[in-house]
């Protein structure tokens, strides 16, 4: 299913060997082993028929260790993120 519509699976598409073992999705978590980037994960994901065809960089910030407001006053705010769209429709 994609966008509410049923679609063919990869092995059911024309010209694809039904015995193919080709991966159609891959994800990896990378880390950098130094003080500056300690504890910062980098995720790379790619695949066919994902929800959107985009190239983007998303920086998701951790919550601050101390919040000056009651937790109930900030719950609906969610997390902070900076998303840089590389293509299509470039923007920040």
Give the DSSP per-residue string, 36-83.
TTTT--EEEEEESS-S---EEEEEEPPPPS--SS-HHHHGGG---EEE
Cβ proximity of 58 and 43 under 8 Å: no
State the pTM of this model: 0.56
Helix (H, G, I), strand (E, B) or coil at 10: helix
Rounded to an integer, the average pLDDT of 81-92 is 81
In this predicted model, what pLDDT tens digit does every residue of 33-69 receive, in sequence order?
A: 998 888 888 888 888 777 778 888 888 887 767 667 7
Task: Show Cβ contacts of residue 27 under 8 Å, excluding neighbours closer than 6 positions.
Answer: 43, 44, 45, 46
């Amino acid at each position: 299913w994609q966008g509410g519509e049923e679609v063919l699976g990869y092995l059911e598409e024309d010209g694809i060997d039904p015995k193919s073992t080709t991966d159609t999705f891959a994800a990896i978590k990378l880390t950098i082993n130094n003080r500056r980037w300690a504890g910062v994960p980098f995720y790379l994901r790619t695949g066919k028929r994902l929800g959107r065809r985009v190239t983007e960089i998303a920086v998701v910030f951790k919550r601050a260790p101390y919040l000056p407001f009651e937790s109930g006053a900030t719950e609906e705010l969610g997390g902070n993120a900076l998303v840089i769209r590389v293509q299509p429709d470039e923007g920040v």
